[in-house]
Amino acid sequence: MRAQGRRTMRWGAVAAAVLLPLGLASPANAGPVADVFAKLLVKQVKGANVTKHLDALQGIADANGGTRAVGTPGYAASVDYVAGRLKKAGYKVTRQPINYVQDWSETSPPVLAQTGGTTWVPNEDFFTFEPSPAGDVTAQVQAVDLTLPPTPTPTSTSGCEEADFTGFVAGRIALIQRGTCAFATKIRNAGKAGASGIIVFNEGQPGRTDAFVLDIGEWRAGVPMVFADFAVGQALAANPGASVHLKVDSDLRLGTSDNVIAETRLGLPGKVVMVGSHLDSVPAGPGINDNGSGSAANLEVALQMAHFPVKHKVRFAFWAAEEIGLLGSDQYVEKLSPAERAKIKLYLNFDMIASPNHAYKLYDGDDSDGAGSPAGPPGSDRIEKTFERFFTSRNLATVGTDFDGRSDYGPFIAVGIPSGGIFTGAEGIKTPEEAALFGGQAGVAYDACYHQACDTITNINATALDVNADAIADSTARYAFELP
């Protein structure tokens, strides 16, 4: 009780001390207040201090076999470092446990047989999806939004939407067609609909008929799941109401890791601004650009704004297991109640912000590039504009980068939370146009050490790190006082 009381007073005093000399506390002045704090934070966040966090992460990797991958002592030490610094600065810090696949093996071949009909050949007509849980079920098969015959090019959205399962009877085996969305999405939706087993069959175009081995990184439906060839799918679809025996004999072992979540004590609880970066590396290396860079910058921004009298709650997230399927952010978003989800007004993601052959790429919130995935949820366009204005104020060019779901914003945009962020490039090749805009070498990868042992402290462009840390400071401080 006593500690808490003291803390409240101290925070109140700090808020007054920061606000009063500026004299801009009236709500009518939200714009100027946001400007003032954005400028202040940009000044306080220094590249040299961000680099100190990178040095610490490199030291952690060096002491732990050269990696900070999830499930290793290097990741655990990274969590301790970040959580420790945030706690000391006054944040409310939580470690949120998340699951990942530690080990999976198949003990005997799977079984797929129609009651009173065909028994299909395992590891030829169909394969167990890795990492399918074990299970042995006999139940009626129910087709889910199939496109038969298949269209000339892939179009099937079978199982991609939860609505595809309206009318699905829980306890039945879901029959799903490969198509335009991720296997994991279909599997998750089938699991939510109460399927007792899942059969996904190849879509049916030339080159898309066979079954094969596939690791989809998804197990949470909790039921046996297999990938079958198109002929199996056709046969089952032609026999509605038939029962099938489906068995997977596997050993799935899950590990536990932690997301680090730190939230300001001040700010309206109903208006939360989230800033995230993944903290894990790949097993091959220390992950200093990917993604020590984003995490170090977010950490320094958090530390420097710890005493800001924020209007909205600012919640910093350091995600576990991004490199093995966005598991930390995905499980975080999945566990939010609808009410908690509605409080998150926007999400900023920073993954690889100091690539040695960098370009300043902004997530294409408005789809102005017209490339790849569509625009982000409404509001993402305005987030992109905020970043653009910052870079313009420094006379720096930017280009767009598609919202392709390759980082932790994916689960946020999937549930309609406006998102944005900066990316300086991974294994992609810098174009001559980009070399003209940003310097560096055309025809060479943005980060030639992407996902390799050489992603060390020397794999960092100091200028990009400094500029982007300022851009993060600018947007985070701005949104802490005024939503876009």
Residues labelled catalytic: 322
Q: Which of residues 285-344 bind Zn ion (CB under 5 A)?
A: 290-291
Distance CA(190)–CA(211), nearest Å, equals: 20
CB of 354 to Zn ion, least distance (A): 12
Q: 326 and 407 in contact (C-beta within 8 Å)?
A: yes
* Nearer residue to Zn ion within complex by CB, 38 or 60: 60
- Note the helical H segments in 20-72: 30-44, 47-63
CA distances, 115 to each of 120, 176, 199, 225, 381 (Å) = 12, 19, 15, 18, 53
Q: 82 and 107 in contact (C-beta within 8 Å)?
A: no
CB of 450 to Zn ion, least distance (A): 9
Distance CA(211)–CA(233), nearest Å, equals: 11
* Nearer residue to Zn ion within complex by CB, 343 or 451: 451
Quickly count: other Cβ atoms within 10 Å of residue 334's Cβ: 12
CB of 397 to Zn ion, least distance (A): 23
CB of 100 to Zn ion, least distance (A): 16
CB of 66 to Zn ion, least distance (A): 17
The count of chain residues that interact with Zn ion, using the rule CB under 5 A, is 3
Chain centroid, CA 64 distance in Å: 25
* Residue 296 half-sphere exposure toward CB, CA atoms < 13 A: 29
- Does residue 461 belong to the site contacting Zn ion (CB under 5 A)? no
Task: Choose which of 125, 164, 351, 455 interacts with Zn ion (CB under 5 A).
Answer: 351
Stretch in the footprint of Zn ion (CB under 5 A) among 78-86, 243-251, 351-359, 427-435:
351-359
Distance CA(112)–CA(247), nearest Å, equals: 7
Angle at 192 between CA 189 and CA 195, to 5 degrees: 90
* Nearer residue to Zn ion within complex by CB, 68 or 307: 68
Stretch in the footprint of Zn ion (CB under 5 A) among 97-105, 145-153, 346-354, 473-481:
346-354
Stretch in the footprint of Zn ion (CB under 5 A) among 311-319, 347-355, 368-376, 429-437:
347-355
* Nearer residue to Zn ion within complex by CB, 106 or 351: 351
List all residues 6 or more positions away from 114 whose beta carbon is below 8 Å from its beta carbon: 235, 236, 239, 242, 243, 244
CB of 445 to Zn ion, least distance (A): 15
* Nearer residue to Zn ion within complex by CB, 397 or 448: 448
Stretch in the footprint of Zn ion (CB under 5 A) among 8-16, 129-137, 349-357, 362-370:
349-357
CA distances, 82 to each of 262, 335, 351, 385, 466 (Å) = 10, 23, 16, 30, 19
* Nearer residue to Zn ion within complex by CB, 37 or 409: 409
Binding site for Zn ion (CB under 5 A): 290-291, 351
